[in-house]
Amino acid sequence: MNGTNRSANRILLSLFGLIFMGVGGFLVALAAVPAVGSWWQGWAKPFSDDLVQLAARTQLGSGGSWIWIVVAAVLLALVICMVGWISNQGKGRASTLASYAGSADDDGASGAVSISCAVAEQALKNALMERPDLLSVSVTSFDFRGQTGIRVRVFPRQGVAPHAVARHISGLVESLDQLLGVQTPVLVSIGSGARARFTKAERVR
């Protein structure tokens, strides 16, 4: 649960995949089919000759041509786009769970109440650490479509019934709702990590 733009990921991956497949397939065809080779030479030769002439005509004083500056600028823009794409992955951590602005004619005092995400995170975490059948608990908050959501990831010991864990957390979240007076979307993710695999199953309950 985070702000990663998944459809953009898929569209860009498909697009680059198609481009790579096209180039690779064409190279294989060039190597394997002689007719494709002669067609390509006839088609691409005028372009490369034009390019050589253009580079010669646009010569700058220092020996280079300005078309290389244009090429460099385009490539630099591409690199910047790629860095932007990477930095968009996994963004969206939130810090404020809920905020409420009071006004003087509403409750007699103007001011604002804001509840930090740390309140919910630490309350849930402390409550869950008391269970002996959970090996580790992590609680984080995310911005999800304009509202704050809480993500609870727990790693139970081997053999613990997941629905019991989910029901317990659900009960905790309901009491947290009553405590804070706001309902936020909550995700409970019950996982099995390497640590769960290598520790002993719980024998006695």
Partner 1 sequence: MKDPTELILRRETHSSRARPAIVAAIVISLLAIYGLLESMLRVLGQPPWLIDPLTAAQRIADLPNGISAMLLGVIGAAIFLVGLIFFCNGVLPGRRARHVVPDPRVAAVVDDGVVASALARRARTAAGVTREQVVVVVSARAVQVNVRPTSGISLDETRIQGAVEDEIARMGLDPSPTVTVQLSTMGVIGV
**Half-sphere exposure of 84 toward its Cβ, with a 13 Å CA cutoff?**
8
Question: Does residue 175 interact with partner 1 by CB under 8 A?
Answer: no
Binding piece for partner 1, criterion CB under 8 A, among 41-49, 92-100, 105-113, 133-141: 41-49
Q: Which one among 102, 111, 181, 185 touches partner 1, defined by CB under 8 A?
A: 185
Structure tokens at 176: 């947290």
Determine if 23 is a binding residue for partner 1 (CB under 8 A). yes
User: Which residue of 115, 118, 123, 166 would you call a contact of partner 1, by CB under 8 A?
Assistant: 166
Closest CA to 200 of 140, 133, 107, 130: 133
- Does 123 sit near partner 1 (CB under 8 A)? no
Q: Residues 61 to 120: which contact partner 1 by CB under 8 A?
A: 62-66, 68-69, 71-72, 75-76, 78-79, 82-83, 85-86, 89-90
Instruction: Render the burial of 154-167: b for 16+ CB within 10 Å, e for the rest.
Output: bbbbeebeeeebee
CB 137 to partner 1: min, Å: 14
**In the complex, what is the shortest distance from the CB of residue 81 to partner 1, in angstroms, rounded to a whole number?**
9
The neighbour count for residue 180, using CB atoms within 10 Å, is 15
Q: What angle do CA 69, 22, 49 make, to 5 degrees?
A: 45
**Nearer to partner 1 (CB atom), residue 13 or residue 101:** 13
Containing 111, the helix (H) or strand (E) segment is strand 111-116
**Does position 179 bind partner 1 by CB under 8 A?**
no
Is residue 129 part of the contact set for partner 1 (CB under 8 A)?
no
Does 204 help bind partner 1 (rule: CB under 8 A)?
no
Min dist CB 40 to partner 1, Å, is 6
The amino acid occupying position 50 is D
| Phi, psi angles (nearest 5°) of residue 65 | -115, 150
